[in-house]
Amino acid sequence: MTTNLPFSQACENNKSPILEKLREIFDAPGNVLEVGTGTGQHAVHFAKSMPHLQWQPSDHPDAVDLCRARLEQAALPNILPVVELDVCTAPWPVESFIWAFSANTAHIMAWSEVEQMFRNIGERLPNDGAFCLYGPFNNHGRYTSESNRQFDQYLRARASHMGIRDLEDLIALAESVGLNLAENHAMPANNRLLVFRK
C-alpha cells in the first residue's frame, strides 16, 4: 500500500457533510464529472459510498498527477481513469454526464475559467442533472465570516486572479448558460454547497 499520499485536511473534514447532501442529489445510476479532483480524497470517498455512480475524476494538466496514486490504491470499479481537463481548452475530454461536482475550485480559478466551467457544464448537463459547487462564497460582496475574509486576503496575496466569488455573480453566470440555483446548503467552516439545475 502506498503511503505518504497527497493529503488535504480540508477534504478530510468536509467529505462526510458533502456526501450527506450528494446522496440526496446523485440518487440514481449515472456518471459524475468531478472538476478539480485534487488529492482524490473526495473521489474515493464518494465513489465508495455511492457505488451506483460512475465517477469521472479530472484536473488541470498541471495538477492531474496529484490524485493518481490514491485512485490507483483505491482501485474502485466505479472510478474511471482520471482525465486532463483545462476548462478553457476545447473540446472537453468528457462529452456527457448526468451530474457535475467541483469543490474549492471557483476561488482558485480566474473568473474567465469559472465562466468556462459553467458554460461547458451548462451545455452538457441534461434536464434531470445537477451541478454541485462547494466552497466559500460572499453575499452581495460581503464576507460571511472573519475566517473567509482572512482566507480571501491570503488567496489574493498568492495570485491576483484568485479570490472568494460572490454568490450573486455565480447565479447570474449560471442563468446566462441556462442553469438556475435550485438549492443552497450551509456547510461546516462557513462553506456552502450550491446546486444548479436546468
Residue 3 lies in a domain: no
Express each pLDDT in 119-155 by its tens digit. Answer: 999 999 999 999 999 999 999 999 999 999 999 999 9
Residue range of the domain that includes 169 = 13-197
pLDDT exceeds cutoff 70 at 160: yes
User: In 3D, which of 80, 81, 65, 27 has the Cα closest to residue 49?
Assistant: 27
Number of folded domains that form the chain? 1
Express each pLDDT in 29-39 by its tens digit. Answer: 999 999 999 99
Determine if residue 59 is left, alpha or beta; phi over 0 gives left, psi from -120 to 50 gives alpha, anything else beta. beta
Average pLDDT score over residue span 172-187: 98
Q: What is the pLDDT of residue 1?
A: 53
Residue 2 lies in a domain: no
Q: Which long-range contacts (CB under 8 A, 24 or more apart) does 104-107 make?
A: 104/10, 104/36, 104/38, 104/134, 104/135, 105/35, 105/36, 105/133, 105/135, 106/133, 106/135, 106/137, 106/165, 106/170, 107/135, 107/136, 107/152, 107/155, 107/162, 107/163, 107/164, 107/165
Residue 5 lies in a domain: no
CATH number of the domain residue 19 falls in? 3.40.50.150
Q: What are the beta bridge partners of residue 101?
A: 34, 132
Instruction: Count Cβ atoms below 10 Å from residue 125 Cβ, excluding itself.
Output: 23
* Mean pLDDT score of the chain: 97
Residue 56 lies in a domain: yes
Express each pLDDT in 74-123 by its tens digit. Answer: 999 999 999 999 999 999 999 999 999 999 999 999 999 999 999 999 99
pLDDT exceeds cutoff 60 at 7: yes
pLDDT exceeds cutoff 60 at 40: yes
Residue 1 lies in a domain: no
Tell me the pLDDT band of 3, cut-offs 50, 70 and 90. low
Residue 135 lies in a domain: yes
- CA quadruple 117, 122, 126, 131: dihedral, nearest 10: 50
Q: What is the pLDDT of residue 99?
A: 98
Average pLDDT score over residue span 52-72: 97
pLDDT exceeds cutoff 70 at 2: no
